[in-house]
Chain A
Amino acid sequence: DQQVKQNSPSLSVQEGRISILNCDYTNSMFDYFLWYKKYPAEGPTFLISISSIKDKNEDGRFTVFLNKSAKHLSLHIVPSQPGDSAVYFCAACYNQGGKLIFGQGTELSVKP
């Protein structure tokens, strides 16, 4: 069963515009959510996280929004830069540091 889903395999955005990556989950027990970024031939790199007690967390150009009633989270990148081109994975866990359940990933392409 796919407890964490990223339904868009790819997304293309113009440089300077907003990128919005979406993620849905099915397990209401998840209480911590993370976004990882992955470049080819490298391991995933932690980007930003959010606890279920919050609905928004911001770090520079990156903002994660959590809608618990809809079991949906999104990552906003503003403004998008060509260096943001990578595969983005959302992940969820039951407690911070516990087993991560990953989505399938969304490949973001930011065009100059």
Chain B
Amino acid sequence: EAGVAQSPRYKIIEKRQSVAFWCNPISGHATLYWYQQILGQGPKLLIQFQNNGVVDDSQLPKDRFSAERLKGVDSTLKIQPAKLEDSAVYLCASSFRTSGGISTDTQYFGPGTRLTVL
């Protein structure tokens, strides 16, 4: 079974530029998550999708971050404009979650995209 795919793996940009990250979850996984992991800290949830609907985006800085999951499969996370404090690893995760159901529901993570903002 293929895992969660993310691209690019690394990205270096200047502050005020824009950047986009792509995630392809495990086939059949309805729930998709984007996390931000700043060096020395644990991952912090930015946004959670159930199919193509947003479940939780309470910690997404909506003035500069946006995310979409068209057709309920792939997802993109965009930052525009980037700030120095956005330097982090952006992790995508997916889990199998039926509507209203609670199953094993482990979150499987991709390798992440390391963003450096100069």
Measured CB to CB, the residues of A under 8 A from B are 4, 6, 9, 34, 36, 41-46, 49, 89, 91, 95-97, 99-100, 102-105
Would you call the interface of chain B mostly helix, strand, loop, or mixed? loop
Interface residues of B, CB < 8 Å — how many? 25
A43 touches which one: B103, B105, B110 (CB < 8 A)?
Answer: B110
A44 touches which one: B56, B91, B103 (CB < 8 A)?
Answer: B91
Measured CB to CB, the residues of B under 8 A from A are 4, 31, 40-45, 48, 56, 91, 93, 95, 97, 102-112
Would you call the interface of chain A mostly helix, strand, loop, or mixed? loop
Q: How far does the alpha carbon of A95 sit from the alpha carbon of B31 in the complex, in Å?
A: 14
| Interface contact A97-B42, CB-CB below 8 Å | no
> For A45, what are the chain B residues with a Cβ–Cβ distance below 8 Å?
109
Closest-by-CB residue of B relative to A105 is B42
| Interface contact B95-A97, CB-CB below 8 Å | yes
> For B40, what are the chain A residues with a Cβ–Cβ distance below 8 Å?
9, 104
Output the least CB separation between B29 and chain A (Å): 11
Q: How far does the alpha carbon of A49 sit from the alpha carbon of B54 in the complex, in Å?
A: 26
Closest-by-CB residue of A relative to B101 is A97
> For A91, what are the chain B residues with a Cβ–Cβ distance below 8 Å?
42
| Interface contact B45-A100, CB-CB below 8 Å | yes
Given A41-B111, A96-B105, the answer on whether A102 and B43 have CB atoms closer than 8 Å is: yes
Closest-by-CB residue of A relative to B45 is A99
> For B107, what are the chain A residues with a Cβ–Cβ distance below 8 Å?
46, 97, 100
